[in-house]
Amino acid sequence: MITFCGASVTLSEGIRSGLSILSEYLPQRKNDVIAILINGMPSDLTSIVHDGDIVDVIEKHQQAGLDIIRHDTAHILAEAVKILYEDAKIAIGPVISDGFYYDIDLPFSISIDDLHKIEQEMHRIIKKNQPFIRECSTVDHAISIFQHLKEDYKVEIIKNIQGELSLYRHGEFVDLCRGPHGNNTSHLGHFKLLSVSGAYWRGDSKNKMLQRIYGTAWDTAEKLNEYLTLIDEQKKRDHRKIGKEMELFHLCEESPGMVFWHHDGWKIFQVLLQYMRSMNTSHGYEEISTPELLSSVIWQKSGHWDKFRQNMFIANGVDDELSYAVKPMSCPGCIEVFKHKFEGVVSYRELPKRVAEFGKVHRFESHGSLLGLMRTRAFTQDDAHIFCTNDNILDEAIAVCKFALQVYRDCGFHTDDLQFKLSDRPNLRVGSDESWDVAEKSLSQALDNMGVEYSINKGEGAFYGPKIEFVLKDCMKREWQLGTLQVDLNLGMRLGAVYVDSNGERKHPIILHRAIFGSFERFIGILLEHYAGKLPLWMAPVHVSVICVSEKFSHTAKEVANQLIDGGIRIILDVSDETVGYKIRRSMLRKVPYVVVIGEKEMQSGLIGLENPYTKEKEMMLVEECKKRLCDLIAHNVKK
């Protein structure tokens, strides 16, 4: 007897494989099922079931089913490459979010035309309905197989495996794989190869550069087409493309991973910074600034020198024996301010102490991982540290969660766009169980108090404390981990921060690390893509383009522009010789929300037309009325 899909089932004679059980007891869903779960373990349909097992099904449309489809398709990709290119050597081909990739070693560069050719070969293979056949093997036997095939990367992987392993065959192709796979290739075909990039073997720049072929695969043609449409939209919304069109920033090889902000891009940055500064002030934070270069001594005390040194930029003074590091985070500097200000005699009555810093930090990232504003080597954090006691954690956590919600709403996101994730204690950690109990309970109670749903990432907390992560979903359903509230049971002790408790004893404060945007650079990139460059009015770098019909009206246009500027409105004045239509199109390319065209009628009447060039809505009004209208919209964070 087994438990199958929640029901007790006595197996008939000869029915032992997942496939036979499915055919006998769930024939109506047979075509929807790609694999089974045996006691919670994903398994092939050919796997044998034993008495007492708990068996469930994995359907193609489920995430686990899609992962198997993508894994299967990655194998077919490798098989097709081996058929087309005899010299190809295959490395690894995992499933990733919404797709898969396979790293290939080839003596030539793969082109877009090659991808089309590979796709055609993959479809030819799939039509054969090749079965996926699992084989168990010893390490020595597997090595001999792949040595015979001259698959050096597979041999290297296998040499690091202990015990029995599994191989999968389909057609003449064999690959090292733990599975599971579908029964055969008949359920495949809804896929697309997307791109090719370089990738070092094992991610090490000292190793050979391989070619990584990316693809996506789905259970239906409709879902594939929807995804490809989404990909096209993502390309249109690429913040690097929008940033160039709007003249916001650029990046260059002379300073990889570091942003050159242009005037309008820097204006967005400053608007967000001033907004966050105002929010910090209203929530009781003191703002500080600490050096970007700190001695290795402080990094050794904090523990970063041992754990993070490979990601730090190191500097040595000409006449100084000490090593220095450009700070990869602001925490140690903030603690130094706390220690110096209170000279070690702060009372528990003075806690919690909230300290904020817009700290510019530098972290070394491999050149290949850099991606516009989304992943840089230099970035500015909206960092804050709350020095507190165990008794303060709950109230401070509630306050930070409310703070974060307000910020994301002001930036145009809805509560439904936000996810909360609580990461609790890992196996390897510092601090007492009692301290962890208090911290975890405080964070969970804070989320309960907010009345929000949240997920728990078991064992995913840092070694020094649990944390809450704020995850936003943009208009293209992509998830971005932005803000964090991290409890730190360790750093205050390591760096000697103390307070005096109610018994007159010296204690180390709990430190809450808090960020809402995370990185200004990355958050701006997310906003640009979410809004396709049409930012909410209050954060737009330019509110209005003032355009004159001809030189005759340039003086009036300048007067109007100056009056709007006096009202705090950010404007572009365009008195060039181009046509009005061209000027408006140029303004729209820069995603300016409004235009005001100054011609004969405007000069004679003293009225101006505030026009939304995207909706063609236009309203005539006095300049003073226009100023008030725009100021009201900006003040209320209304996107019009």
The annotated binding site for Zn(2+) is made up of: 331, 385, 513
Question: What DSSP letter does each residue of 45-99 carry, written as one string?
Answer: TTPBP-TT-EEEEEETTSHHHHHHHHHHHHHHHHHHHHHH-TT-EE----EETTE
Task: List all residues 6 or more positions away from 105 whose beta carbon is below 8 Å from its beta carbon.
Answer: 88, 89, 90, 91, 153, 201, 208, 210, 211
Binding residues: 331, 385, 513
Structure token digits, residue 607 = 């009225």
3-state SS class at 455: strand
For residues 571 and 567, give the distance between their C-alpha atoms in angstroms, rounded to a whole number.
11
Type of residue at 15: I
What secondary structure, in 3-state letters, does 394-447 show? HHHHHHHHHHHHHHHHHCCCCHHHEEEEEECCCCCCCCCHHHHHHHHHHHHHHH
Burial call 509-522: b when 16+ CB within 10 Å, e when fewer = bbbbbbbbbbbbbb
Active-site residue, from 513, 514, 522, 627: 513
Residue-level length of the chain: 640
- Cis bond before residue 352 (omega within 30° of 0): yes
Whether residue 81 contacts residue 104, with contact meaning beta carbons closer than 8 Å, is answered with: yes
The whole-angstrom separation of Cα 587 and Cα 349 is 55
Longest dimension (CA), the chain: 97
DSSP letter at 286? E
Active-site residue, from 134, 331, 377, 494? 331
What is the C-alpha separation between 115 and 197, in angstroms, rounded? Answer: 12
The residue from 70, 181, 327, 363 that is catalytic is 363
Q: Which amino acid is at 639?
A: K
- Give the β-pairing of 293-295 and 286-287: unpaired
- In one-letter notation, the amino acid at residue 36 is I
Could you say which of 467, 522, 530, 627 is catalytic?
467
Catalytic, 629? Answer no
Residue 412 has φ and ψ, to the nearest 5°, of 100, 5
How many C-beta neighbours within 10 Å does residue 501 have?
A: 13
Whether 516 contacts 481, CB under 8 Å: no
Sole residue written with tokens 């290939």: 104
Told to judge if 467 belongs to the known catalytic residues of this protein, a careful annotator would answer yes
Query: What CA–CA distance (Å, rounded) separates 511 from 494?
Result: 12
**What amino acid occupies position 601?**
K
d(CA 239, CA 248): 10
Using CB atoms within 10 Å of the CB of residue 615, give its burial: 0 to 12 exposed, 13 to 18 middle, 19+ buried.
Answer: exposed
For 572-588, b where at least 16 C-beta lie within 10 A, e where not — what string? bbbbeeeebeebbebbb
392: its two tokens? 């303060």
| DSSP state letter for 132 | P
Establish whether 385 is a catalytic residue: yes
Indicate if 381 belongs to the active site: yes
Active site residue 190: no
> 443-467: string of b/e by CB count within 10 Å (b at 16+)?
bbebbeebeeebeeeeeebbebbbb
Of 60, 304, 334, 381, which is the active-site residue?
A: 381
- Alpha-carbon span 316 to 325, nearest angstrom: 8
Query: SS3 for 162?
Result: coil
End-to-end alpha carbon distance in the chain: 64
Which residue among the candidates 70, 237, 362, 385 is catalytic per the annotation? Answer: 385
Active site residues: 331, 363, 381, 383, 385, 467, 513
